[in-house]
Amino acid sequence: MPRAIAQARTADLPDLIRCWNQIMVYDTMSRQEMSRALFCSERHTALVARVDSHTVGLVGCIVPEAGGPTGHITMLCAADEPVATDLLAHAEDLLLGEGVSRVVASEYGGSPLAPGTDPRYAPIRAGFERAGYRHIRDLEDMELCLTDYEPTPHQQRAIEKAAAYGVEVRPWSPELVRRLTRFAGVARASGHLPAGWFWEGWEQGPNMVVALRGEEAVGYARYDPAPRGFYGRYHRRNAGAFGPTGVLADHRGHGVGTWMLAHACLAVKRAGCEWLWAGWTNTPFYIPNEWAVCRRYAVWQKDLGG
């Protein structure tokens, strides 16, 4: 039966969500989450594959904002390997037409946040391989149960160490904004932290912890006790989100990051959450803090070449 590939429309949502949730069993989405993931940006295009009007797959792709070289596949759902390769080929054509020369699959942190491609989906993995993508790294999400959470001995030692280093960790307050703005400037200029972490309005509270050393902010951590959705990436109810977080490179290794993490855990627990989730984690930092990996997903890359 020939396959038809067409741009997804809002009217397709019921079929798309049915198809997605049947195939993507580790990443099920609500209709609202899918609608946001597919249609929240004009730069994002979703293509749907149908056989005899039956939906068999979906690919999402997004072009870079300022005509950059890298386009992203934000999501790929496919009933089998041929559907996956076919959808990828169509998405690549679309990205090529926009001047993209490299495609990265499922490492897109903007909106729509990429749900990632869990390596357990064998047909999708095979589809990426067959389409000439290289598996360049794995990313992880982690979680912590907050029910009995108290700062651990590791965290208490880190807090003492950071205090001896002259750092104080405080919840966000309006009078810190000036120092945070300066901090963002330093972080951007130094390249210590990814520029994408400082999107507009990032210094707004209240769900932020700030590390101060004298007059200067040297680190921050955001958290959200009531996230609006995880884009199908996390299934626990009553979970808050942690991140992003960062400490300026010159001040790392003194316990500051661990103190901010402990502070945020307590704040989210006090807000009534039972779980705390963090996406795209720097896993070695979280392991001694007793977090566990709850999801792993593959990042794929392909140079489209001339």
Which positions lie near ligand COA, rule CB under 6 A?
Answer: 158, 193, 243, 245-247, 252-258, 278, 281-282, 284-285
Least distance (Å) from ligand COA to the CB of residue 243? Answer: 5
Least distance (Å) from ligand COA to the CB of residue 187? Answer: 9
Rounded to 5 degrees, φ, ψ at 273 are -80, 150
Least distance (Å) from ligand COA to the CB of residue 221? Answer: 8
> Among residues 36 and 254, whose Cβ is nearest to ligand COA?
254
Three-class SS of the chain: CCEEEEECCHHHHHHHHHHHHHHCCCCCCCHHHHHHHHHCCCCEEEEEEEECCEEEEEEEEECCCCCCCEEEEEEEEECCHHHHHHHHHHHHHHHHHCCCCEEEECCCCCCCCCCCECCCCHHHHHHHHHCCCEEEEEEEEEEEECCCCCCCHHHHHHHHHHHHCCEEEEECCHHHHHHHHHHHHHHHHHCCCCHHHHCCCCCCCCCEEEEEECCEEEEEEEEECCCCCCCCCCCCCCEEEEEEEEECHHHCCCCHHHHHHHHHHHHHHHCCCCEEEECCCCHHHHHHHCCEEEEEEEEEEEECCC
Least distance (Å) from ligand COA to the CB of residue 250? Answer: 10
> Among residues 83 and 256, whose Cβ is nearest to ligand COA?
256
Residue number with the shortest CB distance to ligand COA?
Answer: 257
Least distance (Å) from ligand COA to the CB of residue 278? Answer: 6
> Among residues 213 and 269, whose Cβ is nearest to ligand COA?
213
Least distance (Å) from ligand COA to the CB of residue 121? Answer: 24
> Among residues 83 and 159, whose Cβ is nearest to ligand COA?
159
> Among residues 45 and 258, whose Cβ is nearest to ligand COA?
258
> Among residues 121 and 198, whose Cβ is nearest to ligand COA?
198
